[in-house]
Structure 1
């Protein structure tokens, strides 16, 4: 996956953001924060993970579907993404 290697710095930054959000969630729970504060941290962690997912998915679509010359590979990659999205949106 060339796009993952090419965008490694940006993706690692997003991963660190996810880790920070999860750490903040853990701290909120450890500190007996009220449920609204915990919900806010959960939403922030989910948003950070979603942003990471969209960044990688965008690169994958551009490089492995749209720019792919082999129709069989495009079809296979498209099916893989559809299955991924079915699981991700549950």
Structure 2
């Protein structure tokens, strides 16, 4: 019986340690997993942010004036144009 108690305590301790490690991860906050396939008009976008290099898909998070977040491909011409426009308007 004592062996079962020790085993149960070890399992519990392992679960607590693994839980703490998972919650303290230093991974990226926002990632794209799929690019939005439709062109979004520039007038709807108020800002953008590049995703972290640790994300599975490289992307740009476009933020609309209604605070919707859209993942887009940074290599698409329309996305490049929006990013350039926003960069120039903040100078």
Between Structure 1 and Structure 2, whose CA radius of gyration is higher?
2
More strand by share: 2
More helix by share: 1
| Structure with larger RCO (C-alpha < 8 A, sep 6+) | 1
Shared fold, TM over 0.5: no
